[in-house]
Chains A and B, each alone.
Chain A
Amino acid sequence: QVQMVQSGAEVKKPGASVKVSCKTSGYSFRDSYIHWVRQAPGQGLEWMGWINPHSGGTKSAQKFQGRFTVTRDTSISTAYMELTSLRSEDTAVYYCARDVLNAGDSWGQGTLVTVSS
């Protein structure tokens, strides 16, 4: 079955960067886009961007442009999300999700990123 397993929780200081991984299995990694979505404490879902694992092409929400990078390693079926210049408002659970028919049919378990001095 499809699995998306994310890396563990992170605590970072303001101004630092964080890189979260999303290891996939159970399907052909190159065949489906992977999206990144975050959720601040007690808030709703916020789309951040996607990567096309086949081509490496990416797109990010305008809000995150310049701070948000999505990459992949096809040899290990893993996608990565890096967010730089962290601030307290970036404290959130970060999710990866597989795109099937323009919806997220499988999600990672989430990675809590806490930004605190």
Chain B
Amino acid sequence: EIVLTQSPGTLSLSPGESATLSCRASQRINNNYLAWYQQKPGQAPRLLVYGVSTRATGIPDRFSGSGSGTDFTLTINKLVPEDFAVYYCQQYGSSLTWTFGRGTKVEIK
């Protein structure tokens, strides 16, 4: 089973700064089945990016995903107040299962 390790655990930034979130897989992720979600307190997760780098419908272009193999990155350019939340990466594996990382919290500095 693939394990996803997200870092850092918490990122303290100011509005206007950029955030770089990392997701590292214990094994190569095939077919680019890697997604990113945003979750705010009391809300369901919201899909931001799927297929490593494709933004979901309605997601602003300040969110971008990249990476391949075992190393993936979500970049948020010029943070706005509503971007402060917890972010999860998720992979779909050959065993037909989903696996989530433990999350990165982006908090206001």
Q: Which residue numbers of A lie inside 8 Å of B, CB to CB?
A: 35, 37, 44-47, 50, 59, 61, 95, 97, 100-105, 107-110
Interface size on B, residues (CB 8 A): 23
Closest to B51 in A: A101
Query: Considering residues B50, B98, B101, which has the most beta carbons from chain A within 10 angstroms of its beta carbon?
Result: B98
Can you list 8 A-B pairs with a CB-CB distance of less than 8 A? A44-B102, A59-B97, A101-B51, A102-B33, A102-B35, A103-B47, A104-B90, A107-B44
- What CA separation (Å) do A35 and B90 show in the bound complex? 13
Residue B84, interface by CB 8 Å: no
Query: Considering residues B33, B44, B103, which has the most beta carbons from chain A within 10 angstroms of its beta carbon?
Result: B44
Partner of A103, one of B44, B50, B101, B103: B50
A-B contact count (CB 8 A): 59
CB-CB < 8 A to B72: which residues of A?
none
Flag if A95 contacts B103 (CB, 8 Å).
no
- What CA separation (Å) do A108 and B43 show in the bound complex? 10
Flag if A101 contacts B44 (CB, 8 Å).
no
Query: Considering residues A46, A50, A103, which has the most beta carbons from chain B within 10 angstroms of its beta carbon?
Result: A103
- In B72-93, the 8 Å CB interface with A consists of 88, 90, 92
A interface SS class: strand
Closest to A48 in B: B98
9 further interface pairs, Cβ-Cβ under 8 Å (given A37-B100, A45-B100, A61-B97): A37-B98, A44-B100, A44-B103, A45-B39, A47-B97, A47-B99, A101-B50, A105-B56, A110-B44
With A45-B100, A46-B100 known as contacts, the answer to whether A103 contacts B92 (CB < 8 A) is yes
Flag if A103 contacts B35 (CB, 8 Å).
yes
CB-CB < 8 A to A35: which residues of B?
98
Residue B16, interface by CB 8 Å: no
Partner of B45, one of A46, A61, A95: A95
- What CA separation (Å) do A103 and B96 show in the bound complex? 12
CB-CB < 8 A to A110: which residues of B?
44
Closest to B98 in A: A47
Smallest CB separation, B38 vs chain A (Å): 12
